[in-house]
Structure 1
Amino acid sequence: MFVRNERSIKEFMQLYPAVAWLIIIQLALWLLTGFLQTPIGNLIRDWGMGINFSISQGEYWRLITSIFLHAGLMHVLFNSFALALFGPALEQMLGKLKFLAIYLGAGLIGNLATFLLGPPLYSHVGASGAIYGLFGLYVFMVAFRKHLIDQSSAQIVTIILVIGLVMTFLRSGINVYAHIFGFIGGFALAPLVLNHVRPYNPWARPQRTDDGSIGFDPNRWQKKQRNKTLFKNGLWILLGILIILGLFSRIF
């Protein structure tokens, strides 16, 4: 489920538009707020970051907008890589709307827990809570929808989740509330979005039909091409572990 076989960025965007646009938006916002530090970027950051005191004063939009903002280059890159790695399979299985619902819903739950349980002046940014919501959805599949996830992917999810949870409590400067409750949110929302869902098909590609509509041809890629992905699969597993470690790095 975590092997990327797309031949180009264009094909990735065609297959997974929700994931692609989430990445584009958060990278663009980081360019404005972090790299260029333009006046409008500073305004966006001040207006959108999660600040518990401001939320208590009625600025509830911060529970959502803070998901798209990031503290530094490595922060946004690691979260973008994590989304590109773990998001596509879920978007194909759920569809764009359900995927966005689980992603933003888990992020909202994590930020709401941060507001209710965190210090009054606590401030935060980042998509880690939403990404942990995706882990929660995967873990629900591992536990209760085994037909939707293959054994190797289940093992990858389990290993990365254990590493992530351990690092959540070992590293300082981590928004523990967002991580834990984002995961719980994704797990809790999973039954609502997994009805009538088919397993992920990594070989599905858009194909034009005679009526001009988009269809999928799962047999387009031959079996011999699958063997070429074995090495790539190992690299993605390693990258996934590095991403989780990076989420807790002190460099951001």
Structure 2
Amino acid sequence: MFIRTESFQQFIRSYPIVTTILALQFGLWLLFALPIPLIQLGHDHLVGFNYGVAAGEWWRLITPVFLHGSLTHILFNSMSLFLFAPALEHLLGKVRFLIIYLGAGFIGNLGTYWVEPLEYVHVGASGAIFGLFGVYLYLVLFKPHMMDRGNSQVILTILAVSVIMTFVNSNINIMAHLFGLIGGMLLAPLTLVFHSKKRRY
């Protein structure tokens, strides 16, 4: 479930939404790494900035999901997506997966807006990724027939470590992680309600 054995072409063909997200965030990271004032101005209008949201710039609740602050940041989040997102795209389908991903990212950024001060600035896909973990947690707790015990233990272990690291590491948007996780759990039953009970991972 979480071991990738596909070739590059197979991965693109099997998981087009995950592939598009990965390509988009790497493309944006490379673009905004260019030291060009106009490009940097564009970046500043896309980052999560609570004061901007309060001023009516609501796109800042979504656009930070595709932006990253450093090479380490984007590599870590991209590896998480590469490992854990494909199974959910396969399970949910392209549209429902995208709803979960963007919805959890939005909820994570909305939680950041509610809790953090107006001057708070943030970027990163972590809230959306925690939303994916929220879906897995929902499956483990409420739909155990859809995941085998081994994969359930993997999810619970990784989630526990991720939550601990959220509070241990510095420069982490804690609210995006927590609200993203909650958002994934809330959206999970809405996207799984019509799903076949026979599929198992």
- Report the TM-score, using the length of structure 2 for normalisation: 0.95
Contact 1:16 1:88 (C-alpha < 8 Å) held by counterparts: yes
Paired with 2:76 and 2:132, the residues of 1 have a C-alpha distance of 15
Contact 1:98 1:193 (C-alpha < 8 Å) held by counterparts: yes
Paired with 2:134 and 2:13, the residues of 1 have a C-alpha distance of 26
Contact 1:31 1:37 (C-alpha < 8 Å) held by counterparts: no
| 2:67 equivalent to 1:69 | yes
- 1:33 to 1:147, Cα distance in 2 relative to 1, 3 A: same
Paired with 2:190 and 2:47, the residues of 1 have a C-alpha distance of 29
Contact 2:145 2:200 (C-alpha < 8 Å) held by counterparts: no
Name stretches of at least 5 consecutive residues in structure 1 with no aligned partner: 202-252
Paired with 1:47 and 1:70, the residues of 2 have a C-alpha distance of 14
Paired with 1:144 and 1:25, the residues of 2 have a C-alpha distance of 33
Q: Which moved more, 1:147-156 or 1:136-145?
A: 147-156
Q: How does 1:120-199 map to 2 (within 5 A)?
A: 120-198=118-196, 199=199
Query: What corresponds to 1:22 in structure 2?
Result: 21
Instruction: Give the secondary-structure state (helix, strand or coil) at the position aligned to 2:139.
Output: helix
Paired with 2:27 and 2:110, the residues of 1 have a C-alpha distance of 25
Name stretches of at least 5 consecutive residues in structure 2 with no aligned partner: none
1:165-193 per-residue CA deviation (whole Å, 9 max, x = no partner) reads 11111222211100000000000111001
Structure 2 counterpart of 1:23, which letter?
L
Query: What corresponds to 2:99 in structure 1?
Result: 101
How far apart are residue 144 of structure 1 and its match?
Answer: 0.6
How far apart are residue 86 of structure 1 and its match?
Answer: 0.5
Contact 1:92 1:200 (C-alpha < 8 Å) held by counterparts: no
Contact 2:148 2:200 (C-alpha < 8 Å) held by counterparts: no
1:133-191 per-residue CA deviation (whole Å, 9 max, x = no partner) reads 00000000000111111211111110011111111112222111000000000001110
Query: What corresponds to 1:2 in structure 2?
Result: 2
How far apart are residue 200 of structure 1 and its match?
Answer: 5.7
How far apart are residue 96 of structure 1 and its match?
Answer: 0.5
Q: How many residues align?
A: 199
- 1:58 to 1:159, Cα distance in 2 relative to 1, 3 A: same
Contact 1:89 1:200 (C-alpha < 8 Å) held by counterparts: no
Paired with 2:75 and 2:35, the residues of 1 have a C-alpha distance of 18
Paired with 1:37 and 1:152, the residues of 2 have a C-alpha distance of 47
- Report the TM-score, using the length of structure 1 for normalisation: 0.76
Percent identity of equivalent pairs: 50
Structure 1 counterpart of 2:16, which letter?
P
Higher helix share: 2
Of structures 1 and 2, the larger Rg is shown by: 1
How far apart are residue 101 of structure 1 and its match?
Answer: 0.2
Q: Which moved more, 1:77-86 or 1:38-47?
A: 38-47
